[in-house]
Amino acid sequence: MKNRLCTLFALFFFLLYFCGKNSVAQSKEIPTLSFSGEWPDPFALNLAELKAMPQTEVKGRDRDGEMHSFQGVLLRDLLKRAKMEFGTGLKGKSQAQYLLAEAADGYKVIFSLPEIDPEFSGKEILVAHSRDGIPLEDGVGPFRFVVPEEKLHARWIRDVVSVKLIKLD
Q: What is the pLDDT of residue 36?
A: 93
Q: What is the pLDDT of residue 15?
A: 43
d(CA 11, CA 9): 5
Q: What is the pLDDT of residue 94?
A: 72
CA distances to 1, 19, 25, 27, 28 from 15, rounded to whole Å, are 21, 6, 15, 18, 21
Instruction: Say which residues have a Cβ less than 8 Å from residue 109's Cβ, sequence separation at least 6.
Output: 100, 101, 145, 154, 155, 157
| Count, residues in the chain | 169
Q: What is the pLDDT of residue 134?
A: 97
Low-confidence ranges of the chain (pLDDT < 50): 5-6, 8-9, 11-27
Q: What is the pLDDT of residue 7?
A: 52
- A 10 A CB-CB count for 36 gives 14
